[in-house]
Amino acid sequence: MKQNKKLFWLVTAISLVISVISTFIIETYLTKNINIVGSFISLHASQNRGVAFGINMGTLQPILIAFALCFAFYIALKHASSILDCIGFGLIIGGGIANIIDRIQDSTVTDVFKVGSFPIFNVADSCITVGVCLLLIQMFIGSNRIFNKSKV
C-alpha cells in the first residue's frame, strides 16, 4: 500500500465527492422520472432505508454499516498493495462514506438509477460494486500467479 497510498486516497476522495455531489443534484433537481431507454433505464429518485438491494437490518444497521466500512478500511491499509487493490478499496470506502453521509439526515439514502427490475441504486452503490469487482479480479489474477508458480 505504501507505493500506492496516494492513489488509494485520491480514488477514495474522488468517489466520495462525486457520490455526494450526485446525491445533492438528484435531491435538488430531479422532480420527476426521466426515461433514458424507454422505461427500462430511467432516473427515478427514491429513498432507501435498507442497505444492499433494500435489505433492512433494523436497529443494528448503522452499527453493521460502520463496522463493515471500518473493516474494509483496515484491510485496505494492511493488505492493499497493487494498483487494482488501491482503486478497488478506494471506491468501496469512498462510496461507503458517501452513503453514510447521505443517511445522516433522515436514515435513508437517495437512489436514482433504475434498470429493469433491478433494485434502484446510486453513484455510491456503483462505486462500491465496481470496487468489489476490481478486488475480485485482483484476487483471481493473484491466485492464478500463485497457481502457475506452484506448477513450475
Active site residue 85: no
Which residue out of 85, 102, 106, 111 is catalytically annotated?
111
Angle at 43 between CA 40 and CA 47, to 5 degrees: 115
CB–CB of 80/97 below 8 Å? no
Active-site residue, from 85, 102, 106, 125: 125
Tell me whether residue 102 is one of the annotated catalytic residues: no
- CA 68 – CA 96 distance, rounded (Å): 9
54: left (phi over 0), alpha (psi -120 to 50) or beta: left
What positions carry a catalytic annotation? 111, 125
